[in-house]
Structure 1
Amino acid sequence: MKLQDSVIAITGGGQGLGRAMAEYLASKGARLALIDLMPEKLEEAAQACIAVGSEAKTYVCNVAKEDDVEKTFAAIMKDFGQLNGLVNNAGILRDGLMVKVKEGQVEKRMELSQWQAVIDVNLTGVFLCGREAATQMIKYENKGVIINVASISRAGNMGQSNYSAAKAGVSALVPVWAKELARYGIRCMGIAPGFIETEMTASMKPEALEKMAAGIPLKRMGKPEEIASTAAFIFENDYLSGRMIEVDGALRL
């Protein structure tokens, strides 16, 4: 798929990896539909895309709510007249041990609300946006690409029962959708980032970051643009479908 003039929707597009991918794809000539819950962050990201000479529009949407998602993708079609790609990137963290024990006594357990919040956004949100994007692509006969952003935590990471389960589910959807949607000219791929330099990791203590980086064979954290360039590669290679690409500096959990 040629990125020039393609319309690509990115969930969680207001900051972090979503914004990095938006700016990178904009620099390649793609037109962006940025989806997020934070209007101010969305506007900043859109202006950054416009600054490199592309077109970008913003959509405030809770990806975990079916009505919001349906209205948002209908608005994207009305504004752009086509949809060629979706990056399912929106996600949240609510980390904690399933059961925390101190001196032989159960001190704390992961709350159902912690579990459900992550599943709702990180998994159900991916399903809803993927379903709606595919619906619009098929309806308007737009060949396209859906990229699900997972994580190496999909293999299981201590303290992340909710997040790991959601990302494993997100990864499982990749081959399912690739097989179901191929007949319509729609490809599906996944990216599983390792530890990446984002606003979230920047808030961590320096010693914690150093310890984290030391455990990575390449001895450094990944950069957002390295995830963005992977997304661009997927969009541009028309024979990639149904697979996960791990971008983690050789780290395996």
Structure 2
Amino acid sequence: MNIKNKTIVITGGAQGLGFSMAKSFIKQGAHIALIDMCNQQLDDAVIELSSDINKVISYVADVTKEDEVIKTFNLINNDFGSIDILINNAGITRDGMLVKVKDDQVVERMSLKQFQSVIDVNLTGVFLCGREAASYMIENSEVSSGVIINMSSICRAGNIGQTNYAASKAGVVALTTTWAKELGRFNIRVGAIAPGVIDTQMTRAMKPQAQDRMIQGTSVGRFGSADEIAHTAQYIIENDFFTGRVIEIDGGIRI
């Protein structure tokens, strides 16, 4: 699929990896629909992305709320005339041990709220947005193909202190392979990206010692860049033979 003149919907698109992907795609002639929860950040993002040629519109929505997702995707389809590509990027972390033990006594447990909040955004949100995007892509399948990209993580294999996050990101890959099988007959491809540690505001806020340890765990000796994630998404979009698979982009991290 050629990115030029395609409508790309990006959840969590007002900042971080989502915004970096939007900046990359707007340069290539795409039209961008940004979904996020912060009105001010969305306004700032639209101003920075503004183009005389390409359409950029923002939408305030909580991806965990079914009614908001349905309404938002209906608005996007009406505003742009089609939905060609969805990037399910919105996600959160609420890290903690399953049980915290001190002197052989359990002193703390991961709460259901801590677990469920991550599942709601990272997995249920992907399901809801994917379902709505696929519906509009199918309706337009006679004249255009569709692509859905789900953001997973290398932590999907399991990571200490991330019961909730790892479970959600493993589920995202399961959705990806299932949807690829179900939606292929409608000319819709589905792929996933599993990043390692990427240079973002979150990693920059870490202590230098922690950053050094993470960098030393990679084969390339550095964090990944947001531009490299955008390039990976571009590969999935442009390679019409790619579907049902996950790309790990982690700098050869050694676990």
* Same fold flag (TM > 0.5): yes
Separation of aligned partners in 1, 2:71 and 2:177: 27
1:219 aligned to which of 218, 221, 230:
221
TM-score computed with the length of structure 2 as normaliser:
0.97
Separation of aligned partners in 2, 1:252 and 1:114: 28
> Alignment partner of 2:2: what SS?
coil
Q: Which amino acid aligns with 2:48?
A: A
Contact kept, 8 Å, 2:122 with 2:168, in 1: the verdict is yes
Q: Which amino acid aligns with 2:223?
A: M
Matched, 1:6 2:6: yes
Q: CA deviation at 1:55?
A: 2.1
- The aligned residue for residue 237 of structure 1 is 239
Contact kept, 8 Å, 1:119 with 1:162, in 2: the verdict is yes
Contact kept, 8 Å, 1:197 with 1:223, in 2: the verdict is yes
Separation of aligned partners in 1, 2:181 and 2:99: 38
Q: Which amino acid aligns with 1:59?
A: Y
> Alignment partner of 2:50: what SS?
helix
Q: After TM superposition, list the pairs within 5 Å mapping 1:16-165 onto structure 2.
A: 16-50=16-50, 54-141=54-141, 142-165=144-167
Q: CA deviation at 1:140?
A: 2.9
> Alignment partner of 2:148: what SS?
strand
Contact kept, 8 Å, 1:86 with 1:133, in 2: the verdict is yes
Q: CA deviation at 1:54?
A: 3.0
Contact kept, 8 Å, 1:26 with 1:53, in 2: the verdict is no
Cα distance change, pair 209–53 in 1 and its aligned pair in 2 (3 A): farther
Contact kept, 8 Å, 1:34 with 1:59, in 2: the verdict is yes
Separation of aligned partners in 2, 1:225 and 1:152: 18
Cα distance change, pair 198–53 in 1 and its aligned pair in 2 (3 A): farther
- Per-residue displacement from partner, 1:151-205 (whole Å, max 9, x unpaired)? 0000101000000000000011111111100000000000000000111111111
2:248 aligned to which of 233, 246, 249:
246
Separation of aligned partners in 1, 2:51 and 2:251: 31
Q: Which amino acid aligns with 1:4?
A: K
Separation of aligned partners in 1, 2:251 and 2:186: 35
Contact kept, 8 Å, 1:26 with 1:52, in 2: the verdict is no
**Any unmatched runs of 5+ in structure 2?**
none
Contact kept, 8 Å, 1:49 with 1:55, in 2: the verdict is no
Separation of aligned partners in 2, 1:252 and 1:38: 36
2:196 aligned to which of 187, 194, 200:
194
TM-score computed with the length of structure 1 as normaliser:
0.97
**Any unmatched runs of 5+ in structure 1?**
none
Contact kept, 8 Å, 1:174 with 1:243, in 2: the verdict is yes
**Once structures 1 and 2 are overlaid, which stretch shifts more, 44-53 or 136-145?**
44-53
Separation of aligned partners in 2, 1:125 and 1:195: 22
Separation of aligned partners in 2, 1:52 and 1:248: 36
> Alignment partner of 1:129: what SS?
helix
Separation of aligned partners in 1, 2:58 and 2:128: 18
Separation of aligned partners in 1, 2:138 and 2:48: 31
